Amino acid sequence: MESEQCHDVYLNLKGKIHYGFGGNLCNALRKKGHDKKFGKDSDEVRKWRSAMSRVANLPGLVAGSGYEYEHLEKVVEMVTRSLSRYDIFISFRGPDTRHSFTGFLYQALSRERFKTFMDAEELKDGDKIPSAITEAIESSRLSIVVLSENYADSSSCLDELDTIMKCMKSKNQLVWPIFYKVEPTTVRNQKNTYHQAMAAHEQRYGRDSSKVSKWRQNLSEVADLKGFLLQRDEYEYKLVEEIVKKAIENDNGRYSHVTSLDLSGMNNGDENELASSSPSTSRNQHTDNNDDEDCSSELSVG
């Protein structure tokens, strides 16, 4: 004969009280039972309490009133979005920094298990950036833009920057500009090589082109963001270490927005807002040529 289960307390709950006061009372009694069974100062009970507090503070969904299928749809959407999300997207001009600064930065981020999207292919000038790149930008929490001397030569890089700036404004995405051996004023005001590049784009698309006008605006806006400056006489590895350190710090807060970013190593002078200075094997690395090189195809860290 099946033995009867013995209980210490019997609660008779009716109606909605079962989900409110009654549920809380039941949980409190159970908690008291654990304290009594294991001891109030038990390491086991403290561990359970700590775990419950931590999980309650995690971002998630609250399934309150409404149909369950609606909550299930939200859970599926959130999980699907998380599975395709990248931590960091790197936009850069391949011939300038692929085999130097950007390559070292990618490897350093990968070692810290950041899922990073970095370019592995090149596009001809004027080619539309693939949808996979656009999706990678949109699903990343942080975009790093390596503004090197010839970045503006690439229409693909400028298209990427346009998507990045849109995501910063519409999705609160964090954007870090890296001024790689160029002054922020050069980017902001499109001087020197940036002036030459934009003049060439105007000649191709027209002086009154809305596309070129938007590119100019994006360059000015990204140059106004807090970021990192690498001078020509500085060691690249030191800046790589600083960027990775800052990425780790921001990862603990799941990437706070750029307006609250407090970069260490702030230097005064002309640019007083600037901080001075996991991977699968990459796919075929294309030899650099005069064609416009796209700034992104997938290289990721598991």
Strands (E), 51-197: 86-91, 116-117, 140-147, 174-180
**Distance between CA atoms of 249 and 269, rounded to whole angstroms?**
26
Give the residue carrying structure tokens 């009716």: 14
3-class secondary-structure state, position 246: helix
Give the residue carrying structure tokens 């007083």: 272
Which residues, 6 or more positions from 119, have their beta carbon under 8 angstroms from its beta carbon? 90, 92, 94, 98, 293, 294, 295, 296, 297, 299
Amino acid letter, 220: S
Is there a catalytic annotation at residue 112?
no
- For 99, 128, 197, 207, 291, the CA distances from 93, given in Å and listed in that order, are 11, 16, 13, 24, 11
Catalytic option among 122, 138, 160, 298:
160
In 57-128, where does DSSP find H-type helix? 68-83, 94-97, 101-111
**Distance between CA atoms of 73 and 200, rounded to whole angstroms?**
49
Catalytic site positions: 160
